Structure 1
Amino acid sequence: MSNRKKKISDTDIELETDSDKTVSNNDEEDDHKSESEEDDDGEEEEEEEEMSVEKMFAGERLPPWHEQLTLRAFVLSLFLSVMFSVIVMKLNLTSGIIPSLNISPGLLGFFFLKGWTKIVEKLGFSCRPFTRQENTVVQTCVVAAAGIAFSGGFGSYLFAMSERIASQSTELNKEDNIKNPGLGWMIAFLFYVSFLGLFSLMPLRKIMIIDYKLKYPSGTITAHLINSFHTPQGAVLAKKQVATLGKFFFMSFFWGVFQWFYSAGDDCGFKAFPALGIAAYKRKFYFDFSATYIGVGMICPHLINFSVLFGGIISWGILWPLIEKKKGYWFAYDLHESSVKGIQGYRISLAIGLMLGDGLYNFFKVLYSTIVAIITQIQSKGFNSRLPISDDDAPSFNCTNQKISYDEQRRTEVFLRDGLPNMTAVTLYFIISLISTTALSHIFPQLKWYYILLTYALAPIFAFCNAYGCGLTDWSVASTYGKLAIFIIGSLSGLNGGVIAGLAGCGAIFNIVSTASDIIQDFKTGYMTLASPRAMFISQVIGTAMGCLISPTIFWLFYKGLKDVGVPGSEFSAPYALAYRNMAVLGVEGFSSLPKHCLTLSCAFFIFAILINIIRDQVGVKIAMFIPIPMAMAIPFYLGSYFAIDMCIGGLVLFMWQKLNKPNANMFSSAVASGLVCGEGIWALPQAILSLVNLKPPICMKFLSRDMNEKVDEYIHSLS
């Protein structure tokens, strides 16, 4: 599903099964092992047998790959893909903070298909049993489709090309550096770049899942939950979770409908309620009654919520008031607030400094961990052995120095049974790259064909580093690779069209790297649920195709239906779009367009982000829990703290719930949060359609200070 952020798990409980364990069995130690140690080993083996997941399902027939791909699964996937794409799109265009929603499609898929099979059977018709493999196919398809709503750049690089965002930048906004959204070219662009990510790492899937045994925490947790859903106890819990999700879904949806009636104008309705006072409201500190971000706050770790609020206090509470006092000295008096040569330039540049500092630090940290881990893996296998890439190679678990659990043997057997041949994957990547190079040079004439080939040559390397790092840390830095592409291609392209070239190159890298990481993580989920790799790949292809059609269409409805999309200060301001636009301008033009001392302050915050990360890594987990994350701090720098207050309220609700009833909170908090996010998020689509048919809210509820209210009363009295 994560400006792709650190993937946030929908549960705080890290589960572990036999498939995640390997037991050392060194020959020399065996010769000297005591009888007591042998007894302990026997007890451990008995315990592992009892914990075996696959033995619980041993009596069930394993369906072949083509039976896992059912019409009912893809019909449901289409419905859920639309729903989650709308949610991700709204989050993209509001704050840009997108929590992990991977669990919800699996839960809803189980509920709907389980209910479908029961209804059909009660009607007297025969029905194919609903399996965990089919459940995994639904989850994979939906996540692939909704992922396009994020990696497609509708709230970042793609929208940054538009005239609406360019007008806020005032630099390099001539015709050759502008490309307004169009449904046709957006769909074509996504089709040409998104599928490359599916093939870029296919030859390495066995290495990453079986040989290196990468964790992929989000994929592993999703697999555990899908497995548990299909046990009798898990089915009962899933039914209760879905009921809870549905209850809060409808509450959130109708709360969004209720708020809409009072929002007929700018700064109207509950979203403009100055709960902390008029002065705080002007500084973007207020509670806007958003069920969406209360739900997001319940999903995100407390540290994320705190970091966002801390960033808002530092920026809107301290920095911007101090810099505004320098008006006339550091920047001109008569500039519009949205001009990057004025206060907006500081807001954007300092946020970019934090983002780049945090992103590059984590990029090199993950890259270092990846290189060290690869070297360790190679050395542990010996210099004379080769890494098995082909599916025809003997499984690596047949080593004499490893004891393999029943679960791992069973899962590895199924994982190696089906799959796309590696040569086919490499050939398809090459062919699609050539077709895409020709097509993208027509969609974006500013992006020369040799820049596209350079992008596609580097993409598999970036994709491997990102997927490997995500497997180790659950942290995807795909957006950082995209930002690097902005600066590299933008600087090579020059002033004429360099902004569009940089943003288009960013999109290509971003999509490939993000999609490649997602498919390997989904393979991990499929590996642990015995879903066929071939079925997983086909569901990923179908989900990606759905996303390439659904996401641009939903964005088009938002863009045409809601006139304030991309407008500063509005609900749908798309803050990351302006940030990406300014990155592209900096990559092409350099730093000469920034106001006085802006570059110095940006560099200071860049260094500050790196130092904060170094400190976090050195002090240990317990202390690091109280040190803010720079990437999260940067978001409110140009957006404000209103959504941070919503998120902190959600986090506080979860904290109190866990204190009062922790087991209940752990079981149902994700369902409550998902219901809150989904309900109000889905309302955004009917809201856009109502705007398209020119149906506006009937009432404007506005809040005024006492002095302003007296002036309004006097004016009304004078008219009478």
Structure 2
Amino acid sequence: MTMANRSEDSDLINREAHMEKAVEAREVNMGDEEKNKEKAVGSIERIFENTKVPSWKEQLTLRAFVVSLVLGVLFSFIVMKLNLTTGIIPSLNVSAGLLGFFFVKTYTKLLEKAGMLKQPFTRQENTVIQTCVVASSGIAFSGGFGSYLFGMSQTIAEQSNDDTGSHNVKTPELGWMIGFLFVVSFLGLFSVVPLRKIMIIKFKLTYPSGTATAHLINSFHTPQGAKLVKKQVKALGKFFSFSFLWGFFQWFFTAGEDCGFIQFPSLGLKAYKNKFYFDFSATYVGVGMICPYIINISLLVGAILSWGIMWPLIGARKGDWFPADISSSSLHGLQGYRVFIAIAMILGDGLYNFLKVLSLTIRGLIKEFHDHSSELPVDKDQILSYDDQRRTQLFLKDQIPIWVALCGYFGIAIISMATVPHIFPQLKWYYILVIYIFAPVLAFCNAYGCGLTDWSLASTYGKLAIFTIGAWAGAEHGGVIAGLAACGVMMNIVSTASDLMQDFKTGYMTLASPKSMFVSQVIGTAMGCVISPSVFYIFLKAFKNLGKPGSEYPAPYALVYRNMAILGVEGFDALPKNCLTLCYVFFAGAILINIVKELVGKKWSRFIPLPMAMAIPFYLGAYFAIDMCVGSLILFVWQKVDRIKADAFGSAVASGLICGDGIWTLPSSILALCGVQPPICMKFLSRKNNSRVDALLAS
């Protein structure tokens, strides 16, 4: 251990001792009247001051992990479906906390009535469940099943029109996917553990999502909050049932390609041809209710710009800009413009936000260290509220030894360097070593930036790895697979690092021990390393056209990530005519839009679309954007009619819609695996085509 670390630990231990004395002094000197006054002005910990805080081992209960396992499977199906359709995944923290509270509270009440309850349900245990569930389902995203990992497959390689030789293709199989995730998903946890006290106590980073989740869990365990939770769960259950049954009903009409309500030309056949229609998806109506209005509007603006204006105009250049007889799925045709212009916007927006968060991180660190070095000795009792004193005291009580973090990091790094090259021979051990040398710094930057802005730039760091490692490996040595695999290594490190720090913030505000947070994150990650590949494998076997354009699960980001890897290895030679020029324009446009958003201030920036969200429909079309805008419209009207009820139940209703439709994919997958086909095909034809079909049948 360095002198700096020893000094820092000594300072924090002294602060802990000071906190204990300060709390005791306040308890002695503060009468009941003053305590009640502090409760009235919003002291959360005064509400819970007579409730015993369980030890970190008591917070880790068997029932908590059983509930986490059930919810982890449920949420993994939901995230996987979103991954393989549009890639837009809303925060599920509220749903995880809400359902975790409901299940365990119901169980403990039954035990209490039977006189068998030994340990009451606490907010700390609720935090453990939420942490474990989010860690588990988070692997469904960071595992790359809708992006880098599936981008290695033969299905996506054929769409990219690149070399489909064995050195540039990796067929998804359950064994190697689980093994790969186990050796790369835990490194990020150990990389930021030593920084938890600096981030939470010293720098006082906000971590907006972690803070919001903590407020939610704290409110659940008040008498008023418990009553509201019952009503919220009832609303969630009602819309869960509706969404599940609606998915079941739609299934009956999907006996064939282009069949069912999902193909309903609700805005007319011409609009349908250009991907403008409402597809009756309860999932995306629910997602639209959770996502901010500006995201949904940005999606619609992007869809209008691309499918409403650009693609018809570029399509009219067939025979000039690209061959007239080329396949519609070829990247040398119109499809190339759709994919690469979307990539340009994503990279432009990602680069801007990366530089922005990096600059904020550097400025924040300079300010923190400057303030720390120049601060004068003051009485901390005058600065810290009772809540802060209580939380800091308990947060510093359970120390995670630094040797655990160091041994964990270096141990996993050595195992990873030894095993990952066996899974991906293209990714040499020294590529991984270079990633792991820079990983702690990048993990810190992502965790710190997330604390300031609530943005995790894991995918941006992953793209950086695609280009650097892919170009280093080269085309002849499987640079495409090397780049995609490196993306996976990097994404898992920086993603889990920021997630863990968010959870530490939640634990800090609910008095959950850092040890219990770390253990629940590790257990949740381990669950996710098995659950997520298994869920993906079910999708892969049940839906034979998975990843193909126009299918139920087109996996758009898989193609995007593979083409990023191709660009990193081979350059821009394969792009269609004028495509590179348009890419430059939209890359610069994405940066310019972000600059304008910064300059105009918050009052007007909320009306300016987000380039990243605008880019998603460029490849997929407008149908899901219309669904999400319908969700926004429902919430908007509801808020106008009854703002209080909409704010209280909006998230529960949205979660019910998402969960019901998402969990329907499990029985539909089982039916597909068993060879059970829907009985009806519902298609929509123009009057002219219908007459042709009638004439053909009559003959």
When normalised by structure 1's length, the TM-score is 0.91
- Quick one: distance in 1 between partners of 2:585 and 2:303? 18
Contact 1:214/1:471 (<8 A) preserved? yes
Structure 2: 5+ residue stretches without partners: 1-32
Kindly provide the CA deviation profile for residues 165-215 of structure 1, in whole angstroms up to 9, marking residues without a partner as x.
Answer: 000001132221000100000000000000001101011000000100000
Contact 1:117/1:127 (<8 A) preserved? no
**Which residue in 2 is equivalent to 1:639?**
620
Partner SS, residue 694 of structure 1: coil
Displacement of 1:54 in angstroms is 0.7
**Which residue in 2 is equivalent to 1:504?**
485
Contact 1:172/1:585 (<8 A) preserved? no
Displacement of 1:49 in angstroms is 7.0
Q: Which residue of 87, 92, 96 corresponds with 1:96?
A: 87
**Which residue in 2 is equivalent to 1:699?**
680
Tell me the amino acid that sits aligned with residue 392 of structure 2.
T
Q: Matched residues, percent identical?
A: 65
Partner SS, residue 59 of structure 1: coil
- Is 1:582 the counterpart of 2:560? The answer is no
Partner SS, residue 568 of structure 1: coil
**Which residue in 1 is equivalent to 2:197?**
206
Displacement of 1:134 in angstroms is 0.4
**Cα distance change on mapping 1:45 and 1:481 into 2, 3 Å:** farther
**Which residue in 2 is equivalent to 1:295?**
286
Tell me the amino acid that sits aligned with residue 686 of structure 2.
S
- Quick one: distance in 2 between partners of 1:398 and 1:676? 52
- Is 1:569 the counterpart of 2:587? The answer is no
Contact 2:86/2:616 (<8 A) preserved? yes
**Which residue in 1 is equivalent to 2:335?**
344
**Cα distance change on mapping 1:204 and 1:45 into 2, 3 Å:** farther
**Which residue in 2 is equivalent to 1:537?**
518
Partner SS, residue 678 of structure 2: coil
Contact 1:172/1:495 (<8 A) preserved? no
Contact 2:349/2:590 (<8 A) preserved? yes
Displacement of 1:687 in angstroms is 0.9
Q: Which residue of 398, 411, 415 corresponds with 1:431?
A: 411
- Quick one: distance in 2 between partners of 1:63 and 1:584? 49
Mapping 1:166-185, distance limit 5 Å: 166-185=157-176
**Which residue in 2 is equivalent to 1:243?**
234
- Quick one: distance in 1 between partners of 2:381 and 2:49? 27
Contact 1:144/1:540 (<8 A) preserved? yes
Partner SS, residue 54 of structure 1: helix
Kindly provide the CA deviation profile for residues 395-438 of structure 1, in whole angstroms up to 9, marking residues without a partner as x.
Answer: x9986596111111111111111132112201210111011011
Partner SS, residue 283 of structure 2: helix
Contact 1:397/1:404 (<8 A) preserved? no
**Which residue in 2 is equivalent to 1:480?**
460
Kindly provide the CA deviation profile for residues 492-526 of structure 1, in whole angstroms up to 9, marking residues without a partner as x.
Answer: 00012000000000000001100000000000000
- Is 1:307 the counterpart of 2:298? The answer is yes
- Is 1:559 the counterpart of 2:550? The answer is no
Displacement of 1:564 in angstroms is 1.8
Tell me the amino acid that sits aligned with residue 342 of structure 1.
G
Tell me the amino acid that sits aligned with residue 634 of structure 2.
V
Partner SS, residue 475 of structure 2: coil
Kindly provide the CA deviation profile for residues 213-236 of structure 1, in whole angstroms up to 9, marking residues without a partner as x.
Answer: 000011001000101110100000
Displacement of 1:46 in angstroms is 5.2
Partner SS, residue 186 of structure 1: helix
- Quick one: distance in 2 between partners of 1:515 and 1:207? 18
- Quick one: distance in 2 between partners of 1:564 and 1:433? 37
Kindly provide the CA deviation profile for residues 318-371 of structure 1, in whole angstroms up to 9, marking residues without a partner as x.
Answer: 111111111111111221111111111110110001000001100100000000
How many pairs are equivalent? 666
Displacement of 1:124 in angstroms is 2.9
- Quick one: distance in 1 between partners of 2:380 and 2:307? 62
Q: Which residue of 232, 235, 240 corresponds with 2:223?
A: 232
Tell me the amino acid that sits aligned with residue 608 of structure 1.
G
Partner SS, residue 638 of structure 1: helix
Mapping 1:260-339, distance limit 5 Å: 260-339=251-330
Tell me the amino acid that sits aligned with residue 650 of structure 2.
S
Contact 1:478/1:513 (<8 A) preserved? yes
Mapping 1:350-429, distance limit 5 Å: 350-382=341-373, 403-429=383-409
- Is 1:215 the counterpart of 2:210? The answer is no
**Cα distance change on mapping 1:397 and 1:99 into 2, 3 Å:** farther
4+ residue segments displaced more than 4 Å: 42-49, 396-402
- Quick one: distance in 1 between partners of 2:467 and 2:39? 52
Tell me the amino acid that sits aligned with residue 474 of structure 1.
D
**Which residue in 1 is equivalent to 2:127?**
136
- Quick one: distance in 2 between partners of 1:612 and 1:48? 45
- Quick one: distance in 1 between partners of 2:471 and 2:138? 29
Tell me the amino acid that sits aligned with residue 671 of structure 1.
A
Partner SS, residue 275 of structure 2: coil
**Which residue in 2 is equivalent to 1:6?**
none
**Which residue in 2 is equivalent to 1:255?**
246
- Is 1:599 the counterpart of 2:580? The answer is yes
- Quick one: distance in 2 between partners of 1:95 and 1:236? 36
- Is 1:489 the counterpart of 2:489? The answer is no
- Is 1:629 the counterpart of 2:573? The answer is no
Kindly provide the CA deviation profile for residues 11-58 of structure 1, in whole angstroms up to 9, marking residues without a partner as x.
Answer: xxxxxxxxxxxxxxxxxxxxxxxxxxxxxxx99995577421111111
Tell me the amino acid that sits aligned with residue 447 of structure 2.
A
**Which residue in 2 is equivalent to 1:26?**
none
Kindly report the root-mean-square deviation, in angstroms, between the aligned alpha carbons of the 2 structures. Answer: 1.6
Contact 2:108/2:117 (<8 A) preserved? no
Structure 1: 5+ residue stretches without partners: 1-41, 386-395
- Is 1:192 the counterpart of 2:183? The answer is yes
Contact 2:38/2:46 (<8 A) preserved? no
Instruction: Tell me whether 184-193 or 319-328 shows the greater mean CA deviation.
Output: 319-328
Instruction: Tell me whether 100-109 or 49-58 shows the greater mean CA deviation.
Output: 49-58
Tell me the amino acid that sits aligned with residue 260 of structure 2.
G
Partner SS, residue 140 of structure 1: helix
Tell me the amino acid that sits aligned with residue 698 of structure 2.
H
**Which residue in 1 is equivalent to 2:69?**
78
**Cα distance change on mapping 1:318 and 1:115 into 2, 3 Å:** same
**Cα distance change on mapping 1:178 and 1:416 into 2, 3 Å:** same
- Quick one: distance in 2 between partners of 1:476 and 1:154? 18
Contact 1:217/1:471 (<8 A) preserved? yes
When normalised by structure 2's length, the TM-score is 0.94
- Quick one: distance in 2 between partners of 1:152 and 1:669? 30
- Is 1:451 the counterpart of 2:431? The answer is yes
**Cα distance change on mapping 1:402 and 1:168 into 2, 3 Å:** farther
**Which residue in 2 is equivalent to 1:522?**
503
Contact 2:191/2:409 (<8 A) preserved? yes
Mapping 1:3-42, distance limit 5 Å: none
- Quick one: distance in 2 between partners of 1:542 and 1:61? 25
**Which residue in 1 is equivalent to 2:8?**
none
- Quick one: distance in 2 between partners of 1:591 and 1:501? 19
- Quick one: distance in 2 between partners of 1:150 and 1:399? 46
**Which residue in 2 is equivalent to 1:150?**
141
- Quick one: distance in 1 between partners of 2:153 and 2:506? 38
**Which residue in 1 is equivalent to 2:653?**
672
Contact 1:152/1:507 (<8 A) preserved? yes
- Is 1:57 the counterpart of 2:37? The answer is no
